[in-house]
Structures are given as C-alpha cells and as structure tokens.
Amino acid sequence: MRSAILSDVHANLEALEAVLQDADARKIENILFLGDAVGYGPDPNECVEILMKRCKVFLAGNHDWGVLGQTDITYFNEHARTAIGWTKGVLTKKNLKNLKSFLLQKEMEKEDMLLVHSTPKEPEEWHYLLTLWDAEINFHYFSKKYCFIGHTHYPFIIERLPSGELVTYKEKASKGEMERYIMNVGSVGQPRDGDPRASYAIVDDEKLEIVRVPYDVTAVQKKMRKAGLDSLLIERLAAGR
Ligand code: ZN
C-alpha cells in the first residue's frame, strides 16, 4: 500500500491543496498527518477541516498545542507567539475541538511504523532531531521499523544499518530488510530547507521518497498581508527558509 505523509501545514491552504492534488493524481488514498495544522498561515479553519476530512491519522504539533494552551509558548520566538495569538482569535470553537482530538503520537502495527510530530523521545517536550547523534538516541526510543516525523521543516531520511551505522539520504531511500528508518517528511506549508515548494513523503512497499510540489506562494502572501500577519513570516515563504 502507498501512503502520503504530510506535516507542518501551518494554515497554508494553497500548499495543502497542491499537495493533496498531487497525491490524488497518484491515486494515493492513505493520507497521514504529523501535526502543526495551524500557526503562521492565514487559513487555519480551512486547513483543519480539510485535514480532518482527508487524513486517516492526525497528530498534534507544538503550534496546535500552543493554540490550545496545552504547551508553554514562552519558549516560542516572537513571530510564532504572535501567530498563535492571531490563530486563537480566528479559529472556530468547532475547530478548536477538532484540534483537541489530534493525537500526540500513533503506532501503526500493520505498517510497522511510529508517527510523531517531534521525536520518539519525550514527544510532548517537542525536541528537535537535527543531528545524527540525535537520530542515534531516538532510534532507541521506538521499536517499530519506521518512524516518521516533522517539526524542523527540514526533510531527510536516516537509515540505521544492522551494524549500527547511520546513512543519510536527501530525497529517496530503498527499503532494506534489516534496516530501520527515521524520516522527516518536511513541511507542507512552510519549508525551511531553501526550497520554497511544499514537501511531503510517499511511502510504498519498496521505497521512502520526498516529493516537492510548487504552489501559489504569492496568493498566500497576499492573504497574510491582508490578515496583518508578520512580514518575516510572509517573506520567508518565497525563500523557503
Ligand atoms: Zn512546524
């Protein structure tokens, strides 16, 4: 079975629609979401509703929890904090309730995978998995063969060989029989790896793959300006940083 795994939509409707169109064109029906539906972008209600409708699994991210008051946002940077405040003001009661139903992590038995927004280690602490050393530690915090994450908005695939050696892939990896994997699927709505196109992952029986999808960045920026959102957040969309 093929799955599409999405993360970090951040209320960017145009990017979400472009990614879902791409997955539809490939006839992928199993869509999984790893968290941060809201924060930063101008369309939180629409994004929550579409995710609820289209995804089989939806997880919560730190921004979702921030909006719900379930996590301390004093450690968020000023731009993120302001965006959380704005989002709280526009989210409907129904969508706040929807967000509340999002899980912190999900184990999929048949697929042998763990889904989590930040890291398998203490997911509610929202750690960042940035280095190979972080990956090595986290491989000891899950027992499944595959772990899919988001949170850093930086896509990668890390393979752990039976010898313990770690190998990194940028876009695609063939599934090995004895190997284990941590894959960051990147961000749909606010990529930060220098490529402004939306990022998501496709997983099938043979491989793990990062897919990039162009979308109308200017349209989102226009809406953000109209909503009075932070100019740094508006500009970084075009650079993908
Ligand atoms: Zn995020």
Binned at pLDDT 50, 70 and 90, residue 75 comes out as confident
Contacts of 154 (CB under 8 A, 6+ apart): 130, 184, 186, 192, 193
Q: How far away, in angstroms, is 61 Cα from ligand 1 center?
A: 7
**Residue boundaries of the structural domains of the chain:** 3-239
Question: How far is ligand 1, taken at its centre, from the CA of residue 36, in Å?
Answer: 5
pLDDT at 31: 98
The percent of residues above 90 in pLDDT, for the chain, comes to 94
- Report CA(19)–ligand 1 centroid distance (Å): 16
| pLDDT at site 58 | 95
Residues 6+ apart with CB under 8 A from 201: 4, 5, 6, 148, 155, 183, 185, 186, 208, 209, 210, 211
- Residue-level pLDDT at 9: 98
- Expressed in angstroms and rounded, the spacing between residue 1 Cα and the centre of ligand 1 is 27
8 Å CB contact between 35 and 102: yes
188 Cα–ligand 1 center, Å: 9
Expressed in angstroms and rounded, the spacing between residue 112 Cα and the centre of ligand 1 is: 25
Give the pTM.
0.96
Residues, CB-to-ion distance under 5 Å, ligand 1: 8, 36
Helix (H) or strand (E) holding 199: strand 198-203
- Distance from the alpha carbon of residue 107 to the mean position of ligand 1, in angstroms: 21
The model's pLDDT over 42-60, given as tens digits with 9 standing for 90+, comes to 999 999 999 999 999 999 9
93 Cα: distance to centroid of ligand 1 (angstroms)? 22
Q: What is the mean pLDDT of residues 21-40?
A: 97
Q: What is the pLDDT of residues 107-147, one digit of tens each?
A: 999 999 999 999 999 999 999 999 999 999 999 999 999 99
Start-to-end CA distance of the chain, whole Å, equals 33
Instruction: Check if the beta carbon of residue 212 is closer than 8 Å to that of residue 34.
Output: no
3-state secondary structure of 95: helix
Ligand 1 center to 152 CA (angstroms): 6
- How confident is the prediction for the chain on average, in pLDDT? 96
C-alpha of residue 163 to centroid of ligand 1, in Å: 33
Distance of CA 157 from the midpoint of ligand 1 (Å): 18
pLDDT at res. 74: 84
Q: Which fold has domain 3-239?
A: Purple Acid Phosphatase; chain A, domain 2 (3.60.21)
Predicted pLDDT of residue 103: 95
Give the pLDDT confidence of 85-115 residue by residue, as tens digits: 999 999 999 999 999 999 999 999 999 999 9
Residue 79 has pLDDT above 90, yes or no: no
Residue showing tokens 């989210």: 91
* DSSP tally for the chain: helices H, then strands E: 8, 12
> Encoding tokens for residue 55?
């995804």
pLDDT digits (tens, 9 = 90+) for 193-231: 999 999 999 999 999 999 999 999 999 999 999 999 989
CA 50 to centroid of ligand 1, rounded, Å = 18
